[in-house]
Amino acid sequence: MASIYDESHEMFRDSFRSFVASDMSPHGAQWEADGIMDRNVFVEAGKHGFIGTAVAEKFGGGGTNDFRFNAIVGEELAFAGMGGAGLGITLHNDITTPYFVEYCDEDQATRWLPGIASGELVTAIAMTEPGTGSDLAAIATTAVRDGDEYILNGAKTFITNGINSDLIIVVARTAPEGGHKGMSLLVVERGMEGFERGRNLEKIGQHSQDTAELFFSDVRVPVANRLGDEGRAFEYLTFNLAQERLSIGLFGLAAARAAMGWTVDYVKEREAFGQPIAAFQNTKFVLAEVSTEIEVTRPFMEQCITQLNSGELSPAQAARAKLWGTELQNRIIDRCLQLFGGYGYTSEYPIGRAYADARITTIYGGTSEIMKTIISKEVI
């Protein structure tokens, strides 16, 4: 099967790989200890055109909707073992920027898009609440219209880029209608009175990713900060779900590929009972199975990228990518860690961190159970 990437993509890959090696990997351990990535990485990435590729050139972006560039960014971050810090960049590129590109009016585009493309304005999206989880229909955060402003009250949790973010897309109920009706998207900016960040949550993995609680107490958000029309948030949120879920699934596949590479290197070097671990039949069989699962998955994921680029990626197909990619990630990393023995459970090798980082991927962006529900609607 021919590669879906051409020479321009491979040049972009080489450049981004060098950027990760020079500007990210040397600091990974410190960011893990700090519980947050240095936000200046966004600025440096912006200088080289690694973020904001979908932003129009007139606003300083790459001016392309070719998701292959986004996929390359995710892959290279996974290959470098950047499961935590990498999420901050892929969320900014793949998940939040599309909302600004699609729904900003001219004034908003002029205010925000240049900073989004340059990395000076880090973005986040705040959907999940302490009592809602995957149930968007139960959102309780409210925004009451008062003249040219909304008065925003509520709380959000598990917000990626929650500490570093400058622009946060907040899903709030602007009308009393229940369920999916009456919700709107409001952009809360750093420093707005009444907006407070809570804890940078301590997690079992992805330590370098700032995942925070956000609190809104009578925050006056200008109507000029509303994305799109009032009451259409659920419609807007579904617009980008296919890309979001594909992004997560692709990262899962790349993380599995990285784990296999680390494991092959390790079993060739490590000896037990007088011979390399690679010489044992069990090692060969495990890696043969792992390799097969990866190679069978790659064409499907590339097909999904092609479908997304042409506007043909269905919700069910995106759900399959997310379900399979993240389950594959967890399954393969677990099997690879076993071949490291006790060393796999230490921080000495990247496989241990990848194991902890992987566990959340079947939960965020829609749980595996939600993905199965979406797929079943197409099947039955």
Catalytic residues: 244
Handedness of CA 37, 53, 310, 257 (dihedral sign): negative
Closest CA to 215 of 231, 199, 230: 199
DSSP collapsed to 3 states, 247-294? HHHHHHHHHHHHHHHHHHHHHHHCEECCEEHHHCHHHHHHHHHHHHHH
Cα separation values, 76 from 2, 89, 152, Å? 20, 12, 39
Residue 91 DSSP symbol? I
What token pair was written down for 7?
């020479």
Residues 6+ apart with CB under 8 A from 376: none
11, burial (CB in 10 Å: exposed 0-12, middle 13-18, buried 19+): exposed
CA-CA distance, 180 to 333, in Å (whole number)? Answer: 37
- Sign of the Cα torsion 103, 106, 110, 111 reads negative
Tokens linked to 285: 């069989």
User: Phi and psi at residue 366, in whole multiples of 5°?
Assistant: 105, 120
* Residue found by looking up tokens 């622009």 in the block: 167
Cα angle 158, 372, 292 (rounded to 5 degrees) comes to: 100
Q: Is 269 exposed, middle or buried (0-12, 13-18, 19+ CB in 10 A)?
A: exposed
181: left (phi over 0), alpha (psi -120 to 50) or beta: beta
